[in-house]
Chains A and B, each alone.
Chain A
Amino acid sequence: MKTKGNVWIFIEQEGGKIADVSLELVCKGTELAQKLGVASEAVILGDKLDGKFDSLFHYGCATVYQVEDKALEPFTVLPYAQALVKLLKQHKPNILLFGATLKGRELAPRVASEMMCGLTADCTDLQIDDFEDKVNKVSYKDKLMQIRPAFGGNIIATIVNTWEDPQMVTVREGVMKLTAPDASKKGKVVKVTPELSAEAKVMKVIERVRKPKTVDLKKASIIVAGGYGVGTKENFKLIEQLAEALGGQVAASRAAVDAGWINHDYQVGQTGVTVRPKLYIACGISGSVQHVAGMNESAKIIAINNDPGAPIFSVAHYGIVGELNDVVPKLIKAFKAKV
């Protein structure tokens, strides 16, 4: 019997800084690798990466493939796909994980298409289990269960890739938990020169404007989030005042982001960030499945909404039916009086 390939994690970096989601996936990938009795290995692409990725070993990687070429910085999809496909064909990993970032979601499908393998987007859980394809009467052992919401979050589907390995998925930031790093852990570095073709270098980045993310919702222990029910941009200040008073962080539902009251960095939910704070206060958020998917593991949830039938109340620990303009100032006043 042929031996199983390893678990690979595609490491996303920007200017040498590794994306949080990649570290989260190293933790999850290491757990999956242990279950399968194989190694977890990372692949990082870019230019001049020496000394930039020790953290990958600390979180559990046994090997890092360091792929360097001038054409890999900054990211463009063609050289990344070509370099990655070459490595996959050579090393035949069993599983390959990507962050469901803009880069990950652009690169992974291109790679999966060329490898002729399946790809599942935005997984919220990954497990190892056997799979019986009843239609074609084939049994598979130790496959990756790729669990994801579908149809606007109304259903949860478990998907299996039955063709060639690797079994490929993308996962959103914040969904997988970081385990404690061990700074004493070391691993093997394999330097790779990708030998890119001229066709892979036809795209040019002419201008690039980036503002670093101003907020890290995942680190906040108290989150005050506003939704469509806040009503106006002006009213959103109320949310900010409550957050400030409680020493918390402002966040929003997609509806508030779409309304232009706050930018996407602050969005909690399936297409935003997944958070698990000590306290989550949902203000004027109706509680769509997409939003709830990103916050229902919060330790305590307070919902404030003027509609007693809002679904948010079914996931909340405390529910206040009332107007934000009335309830929020009372919360601020009560907290200030007690502290």
Chain B
Amino acid sequence: MKRQLMVFVKQVPDTKNISGEAMTPEGTVNRSALPAIFNPEDLNALELGLQLKERYNFKVTVATMGPPNAAEVLRECLYRGADEAILITDRAFAGADTLATSYALSCCANAVGNVDLILCGRQAIDGDTAQVGPQIAEKLNIPQIAYVEEVMSLSAKAIKAKRAIEGGYEIIESPLPVLLTVIDANEPRSASAKGIMKFKKAKTRSEIHKLMRDADYTDAQALADKENEMKAKNLWIHEWDAAKIQADVNRIGLKGSPTKVKKIESVVLKAGKVVSIEPTEAGINGLIRELIEDHTLG
């Protein structure tokens, strides 16, 4: 059997363009109001995973936790060469902070089983916390190497990786299994045309059922036949809920989250009392004179 590695990825709102309408009164974000993108450093983690697949013949399983439409990032992974995809989705996961998220993802890793390596992007651009990776490692009671730039070597039992430290780098050795958080140090490959052709048809059960309903095929046999056909063609995206990954309901979602949001405020840049300076010699001389007079300069 092939050795197995997992990559956890996340679909994130494009945080560069957030309007007030995207916030709910409870202070959580209405993600559907924002364009969803593949979290940038998760693409670096996927790239590293795919390179390891090529070097060491791993099977690459990708997983994400999110709403049903997060299946899109999993298809993006399949386009690039991932072998199997899992969507962890359940209303019970909603409102999770990093502790509840990492618990759920660690349950998923346990449900997959026999994983030598887990890769995550260092952080997601919606929260920028960089906490979920190390917390998954702790929940699984395995070592972690954060800020990985590249894998130097890998044996059956150990890994050597180069990772960033303050003002430099270090080469660190760890036994397997281990979790790596990956930084923006490789060039993520694009989706291949061949990959897109094949895997744009890859679907979760919910997606298949919706397609069938829309086409008025609703009898159980037709649904079961379609599911089997998709599985046989390797176009099946697993859809796992809290029960499937054997998650304790008290440790997931809002219930499993120690941090509560007290207040959310939009950032307002302070009102402009800017003094306009003409880009002429006279204008600039005047400015410099003023700054020297008030002892800012000189």
Interface of A toward B, CB cutoff 8 Å? 14, 74, 76-78, 81, 101-103, 105-110, 112-114, 116-122, 131, 133, 135, 145-146, 149-164, 202-213, 222, 246, 265, 271, 278-279, 287, 289, 292, 296, 299-300, 302-303, 311, 313-323, 326-327, 330-331, 333-335, 337-339
Contact = CB atoms under 8 A, between A and B. Distances in A.
A151 B134 contact: no
Contacts of B284: 320, 327, 330-331, 334
Nearest to A114: B138
Contacts of B126: 150-152
Contacts of A163: 258
B147 interface: yes
Interface string B1-44: 00000000000010110100001000101000000000000000
B259 A315 contact: no
Contacts of A106: 130, 134, 144, 146-147
B270 A315 contact: yes
B15 A14 contact: no
A119 B101 CA distance: 13
Given A120-B259, A152-B18, A335 B274 contact: no
Chain B contact surface mostly: mixed
Contact of B137 (A110, A159, A299, A302): A110
A116 B258 contact: yes
Interface residues of B, number: 79
Contacts of A209: 168-170
8 contacts: A77-B144, A109-B134, A113-B135, A203-B173, A208-B169, A246-B297, A320-B278, A334-B284
A153 B267 CA distance: 8
A315 B263 contact: no
A279 B297 contact: yes
Given A119-B98, A155-B266, A314-B274, A102 B146 contact: yes
A121 B266 contact: no
Nearest to A289: B267
A118 B259 contact: yes
Contacts of A154: 15, 18, 266-267
A157 B172 contact: no
Contacts of A302: 277, 287
A84 to B, nearest CB: 12
A158 B131 contact: no
Given A206-B171, A318-B287, A334-B284, A161 B258 contact: yes
B160 interface: yes
B173 A204 contact: yes
B175 interface: yes
Contacts of A212: 167
Given A114-B138, A335-B297, A119 B18 contact: no
Contacts of A113: 99, 102, 134-135, 138-139
B220 interface: no
Given A287-B269, A318-B274, 18 more contacts: A108-B131, A113-B134, A118-B257, A119-B131, A121-B127, A122-B129, A150-B126, A154-B18, A161-B258, A205-B171, A205-B173, A206-B172, A208-B169, A210-B165, A210-B168, A212-B167, A330-B281, A334-B288
A101 B137 CA distance: 19
A109 B131 contact: yes
B168 A121 contact: no
Contacts of B285: 334, 337-338
Taking each of B271, B285, B288, which has the highest tally of chain A beta carbons within 10 Å of its own beta carbon?
B288
Given A121-B131, A150-B127, A206-B173, A338 B298 contact: yes
Nearest to B251: A116
Nearest to B164: A102
B100 to A, nearest CB: 10
A207 B168 CA distance: 11
Nearest to A337: B285
A2 to B, nearest CB: 19
